[in-house]
Amino acid sequence: MEDRVLFTLNHILQKKKRKITLESRLREDLFVDSVDMSMIIGDLEDEFEITITDDEFADVVTVNDIVEKLKARGLSDY
């Protein structure tokens, strides 16, 4: 699952040319803004075939927080 999340973030943020790790902070390290976050959520919805509300990810700070939120929904690699 971590690889799928990292791939999604790399796809969305490729123009920012930042190294993305599970420990990367979205706003401080990757400079993710609200538009980026909407695109990330949209891509994650497509990738995992789920619906995510903005509120669900409002408290996400790191890339690993995204992974943990998805795992908490019972998602895993398949």
Contact 59, 53 (CB under 8 A): no
Nearest C-alpha neighbor of 63 from the set 29, 28, 22, 3: 22
Residue 33 annotated in active site: yes
Catalytic pick among 3, 29, 33, 36: 33
Cα–Cα distance, 47 to 41 (Å, whole number): 10
Tokens of 77: 């690699």
The catalytic residues are 33
